[in-house]
Structure formats: C-alpha cells, structure tokens
Chain A
Amino acid sequence: MAVIEFEHVSKAYRLGASRTSLRQAIVQVPHNLFSRNGTQPNQQLFWALNDVSFRVESGEVLGIIGPNGAGKSTILKLLSQVTFPTRGHIRTRGRLAALIELGAGFHPDLSGRENIYLNGAILGLKRWEIDAQFSDIVEFAGLEKFIDTPVKRYSSGMYVRLAFAIAAHIKAELLLIDEVLSVGDMAFQQKCLTKMNQLRDSGATIVFISHNMWSVNTFCKRALLLRAGQIEAEGDPDEVIQIYRRQESEGLLLRSDGAHISDDAGSGSQNGAHGPVSETVITQVELLNKAGQPEQAFDASDHLLIRTHYVAPNRIETPLFIIRIRRADGVICCSLTNRDEDNFAQPSIHGRGTCEARIGPLQLVPDIYTVEAHIVDGEQPITYARSSRETFHVEGHVSGPDHAGVFEPHVEWLLS
C-alpha cells in the first residue's frame, strides 16, 4: 500500500517582492485598473517542481539526490503540508515526522524540554506518550545538561540532534529527513543512520535527502535524482548516483569550456590573451591519458599526463611549476612541484613552452577533481600565472564512507 502518492505535482513560487503592505496594495489598485496588461511587473513565477510523480510503498526507504535548488526540500515541505501544490495531488498515510531545514518547528524561547512536549503535541502525541519517551529522547540527543535551556541558545548541531531525537522516537509511520543531518558530526551521523536502520526494520517508511552518496547508497533501496524541479532518474541507488556524477562532471566541463567563470582562481586562466601582454599566462592545461590523448574519465589505476602550455613574455629566472589536484568538495589531494631535493635545477623560462607532469597510477577515489596549475617563483613568493579550470573524474563505485580517504592505493589481500 502506498504511503506516499505524488501525482503530477507542480509548485510555483512568485518571484520578486510580494505584496506585504496594505499601503502598497491600496496604491496598486488604481495602477492595476489603468494599466494595460493587468498583472504587476513582479509576477514572474518560479517553478520549483514541474510535473513530478512518484510513489513510495510502505516500509520503503527512498533517497532523493540532486544539486542544490533542484526542489528536494520543496518535496518534503509539500509532503509535510507546510505548503501546498500549485498543481497536482499529494496523498500521504500515517503519522508523519519531518526534519526540514534547521528548526523542525522549535520555538526559540522555549527550553528543550518544552519543545519536546510542543513538538510531540504538534506531531499528534498525547502527553503521556511523550512522557514515556522523554528520557530516551534526551539521552539519544545527548542533551541532558542543556534540556532546560532555551533552544535559541543551542548550536546548530544540538538543534539537529534534538530534532532528530524527537522525530525518531515518536513512532512515526513516515519519516522525512532533509540534508540537515550533515550539520551533525560524524559520530552523530553514524548514530542517526543506525537509528534510521532500526526504524526501517520496524516498518517505517523513510524519505531521505542527502548529499552524502555513501549513505544514500547503503541506506536506501530506491533513489530519485531531481534536477531543476524534474525527476531525471529513478531506481537503484547505485545507478542513479552514477548518472548524477556523470551529469555533474559534464556540467562542470561545460561550464569550464564556455564563458570565463567569475570564480576562477587566477588571472591567467583565460584562453588567449586578455591582460597586459607582459604578463605570464597559462594558455592551456591539457589532461591526457597514457597514450597522449585528451581524456576526462580515468580509473584509479590510470596514468594522468598534465601538460601546461604557457607564455612568459618576460624571462623568469627561477620558475617553479605547481600542480594541485583538488577534489570536488574542496579537499586538496596533492600538491606537486617540480622542485627537487637540491633546490631545483629548473632552467629559466622565456616565451612559449610546455611543462608536463606525468602522474601515475592516480590511486584517487572515484570523484570529480579539478587540476590547478600554478607558475610561481622559486625564490620569492610571487605567482606568475594560475589556471584551475580543467577537471577530470575518476570512475568507479563508491566503496566507503563518504570522502573517507582520498587515496586508493593498490592493495593485495592474503589470507591464511
């Protein structure tokens, strides 16, 4: 029996300043009467969801992934009846507990204790039912010392611990969990996943939004990829995650090929000269595979050849090349320079040239990476040129807790 039925749901929000003052509204009336096209100028609509349909059966765990702004939180808000669809139909069955954004319906002036009762009451529990679970909730959240302090003084981690503790203990049939869990520390996230497993085993239905691909993969039986308000993929979490990753890396590539991105790190990242002629410029950074062909998708055992093309109008006596590989979430996986032990025997550079760095085997975990190439001075802290546009991704299946590990060396196992 379906616990959630989402049928052709669309949700539109009005963009622009909303009519928040009577004074404005009164002034608008003659304006509307006399203007040609009747509608106010700021009546554009933003469709957060566009004809979305899906079902969730009882006992299922559904993961929803997608880039920011895809509409994931909107789905949760619609499910918990905080807001209503512009078009379409939503049906849910059973008691519902939701953790949406930070806050989950806490009143800031009340203490944790009072909020537990308030939230419990909102979620439909009787006082004696809350009494029975009270100490379990406080213990799970680890907030014994702070339970009588107003929640406005809680840190975001404490907030989410309390919110999750309440949601997990109210015996809800349907649990909606937004990506807020990422606010908690690793220990807490682990605790939450364990608890959610227990809830799932006891028959609860869970809808889980996360950016943590590993938890989506291990925890969910089915996943939905949402992008720009529409479902792009649905099915086995592993497959959906792969589709998502592929799309993301293609998206990154598209963005880096096209117009110059404003958040680019360096000055030397434009193709072709845009700056004063006397500046050193990295004209191109090529990513090549072992055979010397341009490549963007690699395996952990592949070799990567990074060829940096530069133009140095002025001679640089003591140049140093730095190659950095930065993972999609910002972690710098390695920073390689061509300075060798006895302080570089790098000859000076002048004019056009290339610098090649052969890295291999990559031994990086599957993810999307950006290559940063810098030309700096070997003796003084001067940066001559920078480029950080080229990206590549390492393919493979996510095999461990999210981003635990940057590096995947070759390993051989021996059992005796």
Chain B
Amino acid sequence: MPAYLRELLGARELLFTWTKRDFRVRYSQSVLGAAWAILQPLSLMVIFSVIFSMFIKVPTDGIPYPIFAYTALLPWSFLTNSLSSAIPSLVNNMNLVSKIYFPREILPLSAILVGFADFMVASSIFVIMLLIYRVPLGPCIVLLPLALTVQIVLTFGISLAASAINVFYRDVRFVIPLALQIWMYLSPVIYPVNLVPEKLLPIYFLNPMAVLIDTYRRVILLNQMPDWPHLGLAALISFSLTIVAYRYFKRAEREFADLI
C-alpha cells in the first residue's frame, strides 16, 4: 500500500472530525436544514414529472414517471452535490492548507461523505415512494450497494483531479455547473436508455454514469441483473481514474501552499 494511503488511514480521526463539522455547518446554516437534502431531488422530480410526462411524453415502459425519474435523480443529486462541494474544497480551505500539514484529500473526501449523508436522508423518501407505487422489489436489489460503490469511487476520482486542478486554475469551478448539466443530458436521467439510437449505444455506455443509472433502474424497478459487461467497464474506468487522479493529487499537493 503506498505511503499516502497509510497516512490517510492514520488520519481517519481528522476525517471524521472534519466531516462531522462540515455536516453540522451545512445543516445549521440553512433554514431548511435536513429538509433540503430531501427537497432537492424531490422538487426536481416533480418538475420533471410535469414536463416529461405531461408536456413531452417520454415513454418509460409503463413505469410511472415520478418513480422512474426519482430512481435516477437520487444518485444523480448525490453526484452533483458531492462534486460541487468537493471540487472547491481545497481552495475554500486555503488558510488551513497553507499553514498546517494534513492529508489534503480529506477535504474532498469529507465533502463526498457529507453528500452521502444527504443521499441517505433523501433515500428515506424514496422508500416511501417505493411503497406508494407498489414497486415489486426483487433479489436483484442486493446489487445496489455494488453500483453505489462504483459511483462513490468515480466521484472520488473526479474530485481529486478537479479539486487539485482548481487550485492551479481557479476558473475550473465555473465550468463545473455547465459540465454537470451536459453530463446529465448525456445520462439516462430524464429519459430511458432505449431512446438512445442503437448505433450510439457503445459510445453512450462509455459514460460510467449512464451505466450506473441504468443499473439502478434495473435492480430496483425491474428486478433485472445489471448489464455486466458495461458495468464492468464503468467500474474499470472509475477505479483507474481514481488511481491516476490520486497519484496526480499527491504530486500536485506539494505545490498547493505555494500558490495562495
């Protein structure tokens, strides 16, 4: 295990402290508090349902649009919220980074953990929705944590690379919202996968989130096995991205304090 992983393990106390603090700050500073974690995917779902099942009728193979959308919106919000707070995390805490030593990856990692906590809170509504729509859950649902793990690794990899680059090029954070928007349209969040033309599917599934969203729908709503080859590819992409990004991060880290 490379030295820096051991160091991260040794600094887990700091990680928990920081995450707890981050969490508290988030929830105490907003009036809505915990409700925001639920409100965000929920309100998006409502709007999308209105537009994409009433104005534009997106065919969803008989699955009611709200639950169809929510199954994707939930992990998607997890991704966007995590990235939005993880990527600027180094720059936002520059006063700490430049004065004292600690494994810097704790900052984006902590943002992801907070995002995960939000995700769990929002999932509570999801459980209610599953009951309301009487979705027949099957054994395939046990594969859900697998897909989630791949997503978390992917998020971590992107955060490491992007947060480090953000230190050197501060305008990266302005690109993020746009990039996430575009990414959402390139993933089957609002529409089902079968609307994508056949010949584009190989390229389409190079997008790990496309595979993951599809997987979520399969295991939760359809009780189907995931598309293993594509899921394997998504996992491969996510893990290798993270390994490369982590190495880059550790090298770039040496220069952070010199650049405030």
Contacts and interface: CB of A to CB of B under 8 A. Distances in A.
A196 to B, nearest CB: 20
19 contacts: A13-B258, A19-B169, A22-B169, A25-B169, A80-B100, A82-B101, A84-B254, A103-B99, A104-B100, A105-B95, A110-B21, A114-B21, A118-B14, A118-B18, A122-B101, A122-B102, A124-B11, A125-B13, A127-B13
A100 B101 CA distance: 11
A18 B17 contact: no
Nearest to A108: B95
Interface string B10-39: 110110011001000100000000000000
Contacts of A126: 13
Given A22-B175, A82-B100, A104-B99, 4 more contacts: A77-B257, A104-B100, A118-B14, A121-B14
Q: Identify which of B11, B96, B100 gathers the most chain A CB atoms within 10 Å of its CB.
A: B100
A107 B98 contact: no
B170 interface: yes
Contacts of B254: 83-84
B17 A117 contact: yes
A20 B100 contact: no
Given A118-B17, A122-B102, A18 B96 contact: no
Contacts of B10: 124
Contacts of A83: 254-255, 257-258
A23 B170 CA distance: 10
B169 A82 contact: no
Contact of B96 (A14, A98, A107): A107
Query: How large, as a class, is the contact surface on chain B?
Result: 20 to 34
A173 to B, nearest CB: 15
A127 B257 CA distance: 27
Contacts of A114: 21
Interface of A: 13-14, 18-23, 25, 77, 80-84, 98, 100-101, 103-110, 114, 117-119, 121-122, 124-127
A122 B96 CA distance: 10
Contacts of B149: none
B178 interface: no
Interface string B83-127: 000000000010111111110000000000000000000000000
Q: Identify which of A84, A117, A121 gathers the most chain B CB atoms within 10 Å of its CB.
A: A121
A106 to B, nearest CB: 8
B214 to A, nearest CB: 32
B169 to A, nearest CB: 4
B177 to A, nearest CB: 15
B152 to A, nearest CB: 23
A118 B25 CA distance: 14
A105 B258 contact: no
Contacts of A103: 95, 99
B96 A22 contact: no
A18 B256 CA distance: 12
A124 B100 CA distance: 12
B237 interface: no
Contacts of B142: none
B186 interface: no
B172 A22 contact: yes
A105 B97 CA distance: 8
Contact of B99 (A18, A23, A82, A124): A82
B127 to A, nearest CB: 33
A309 B93 CA distance: 59
A84 B250 CA distance: 12
Contacts of B97: 82
A1 to B, nearest CB: 22
A333 to B, nearest CB: 38
Q: Identify which of A22, A77, A114, A125 gathers the most chain B CB atoms within 10 Å of its CB.
A: A22
B169 A21 contact: yes
B54 interface: no
Given A21-B170, A25-B169, A108-B95, A121 B100 contact: no
Given A105-B100, A127-B13, A18 B21 contact: no
Contacts of A80: 100-101
Contacts of B61: none
Contact of A121 (B17, B170, B171, B258): B17
Contact of B169 (A20, A122, A127): A20
Contacts of B96: 105-107
A121 B13 contact: yes
A91 B170 CA distance: 33
B257 A82 contact: yes
B21 A118 contact: yes
Given A117-B17, A121-B17, A23 B100 contact: no
B259 interface: yes
Contacts of A122: 14, 100-102
Nearest to B169: A22
B185 interface: no
B14 A109 contact: no
Nearest to B175: A22
A143 to B, nearest CB: 20
- The 9 lowest CB-CB distance pairs between A and B, nearest first, are A105-B100, A84-B254, A81-B101, A121-B14, A22-B169, A121-B17, A105-B99, A83-B257, A82-B257
Contacts of A105: 95-96, 99-100
A103 B170 CA distance: 24
Contact of A107 (B11, B93, B168): B93
Q: Identify which of A23, A105, A114, A124 gathers the most chain B CB atoms within 10 Å of its CB.
A: A105
A124 B102 CA distance: 9
Nearest to A82: B257
Interface string B49-79: 0000000000000000000000000000000
A149 B99 CA distance: 21
Contacts of A22: 169, 171-172, 175
Nearest to A80: B101
B168 A101 contact: no
Contacts of B259: 18, 20
A19 B17 contact: no
Contacts of A18: 259
A67 to B, nearest CB: 22
